[in-house]
Structure 1
């Protein structure tokens, strides 16, 4: 008789995780989970919407990259593009985007929908010449998952032209002090906001299969400056009344009490 084994559930822990381990874990996790992610969130994200996070803040309204009419003819790099929904929206505005992602499977979804130039690469080593782009953007791409965010910021700075804008969204740092639960159990502080130890899910042999790095608001601001940027704005989207869905630990209940997303609007010095 063949004995069936329960599927292994990764162990969640807090421990150090460097550049290489974090990058390998991110590539593997997104390659394994891209299909499920696009099925679960594809309707919300659409094929050509530019959404900054689970709250549903849309670039059409936010204009964090600038007025839509000013995007025409601009060279734009989208980092951590997933299925490249944001890049398709940029094309509709007349921009010339390139969608970059670490995950081959995520880019296969981008290729399935079509219409965008795609590049598979690590955000910490961008395969572009200096001054290749007018703008760069990243909606929850790369920066929450890398051990050295300044390295990524310096790479983005390098490929931007003088005065270029980089706008990126990440998990709001305050969320790390609360359990990742959308209901009432997620409203009590359970960890120190100041604990920068990475969140790691690891397999039976102790190898990381998912890594997310916590930075405080102050850390993020210092990273932006160290990367050569000037911080123009820090946006903390409020939860809109129309959005009734839950997304992981994000929910209307929590979103009306604490911020879930932080968006940094930066300009190349």
Structure 2
């Protein structure tokens, strides 16, 4: 269960509940997760959220003011969620977020999300429809998830379209540092 102090950056869980310390070594420098004695702490950072998830959410709100987290946007799906910082910080803005990881190798990250009280699951996104009804989400988010959305004639985008409510938002973000990678350029061109 998440423990929230005065500052939302104090999300924490007990190490004994999820004894997977490797993620701290692999992602600690990206501000996803840190270890302090017998606790893991989740400061809200991440590969895409270099200044924290709250600032990232503020940037989205500034770019698209009508997104209105907690009012117009109340139910979200976060694809490629990592340790679910996006979902945890949306919760503080009255948005329920289902966080999904598209690969089994992310099981430990999903366990961190669940332990924090953020709904999460591993799901085979590319081969099956997601187990949600049509028009279930106001927002679908994918931040540096490296999913090829346009593969197989855009079948994954068709699934996004099925899941989004009318007037909903699909937020797909990638760090500019990857813009020089050939695969990322092809993905951007395909999406455009």
Aligned to 1:58: 56
Where in structure 2 are there 5+ consecutive unaligned residues? Answer: 1-19, 35-40
Aligned to 2:7: none
1:40 aligns with 2:45: no
Return the TM-score normalized by structure 1: 0.47
Deviations 1:68-88 (A, max 9, x none): 754346111111111000001
Residue 175 of structure 1 aligns to a residue in which SS?
Answer: coil
Change (3 A) 1:219 1:161: same
Change (3 A) 1:74 1:166: same
Residue 71 of structure 1 aligns to a residue in which SS?
Answer: coil
Change (3 A) 1:66 1:37: farther
What is the Cα-based RMSD across aligned positions, in Å? Answer: 3.5
Deviations 1:100-155 (A, max 9, x none): 1122122122234x121112113333221111111111111242699558222221
1:154 aligns with 2:158: yes
C-alpha distance in 1 between matches for 2:158 and 2:149:
16
Residue 179 of structure 2 aligns to a residue in which SS?
Answer: helix
Residue-pair matches, total: 155
C-alpha distance in 1 between matches for 2:25 and 2:172:
24
C-alpha distance in 1 between matches for 2:24 and 2:31:
10
- Higher percent of residues as helix: 2
Residue 141 of structure 1 aligns to a residue in which SS?
Answer: coil
Return the TM-score normalized by structure 2: 0.64
Bigger CA radius of gyration: 1
1:164 to 144, 163, 168: 168
Deviates more, 1:122-131 or 1:154-163: 122-131
Where in structure 1 are there 5+ consecutive unaligned residues? Answer: 1-30, 177-192, 197-212, 222-269
1:175 to 169, 177, 180: 180
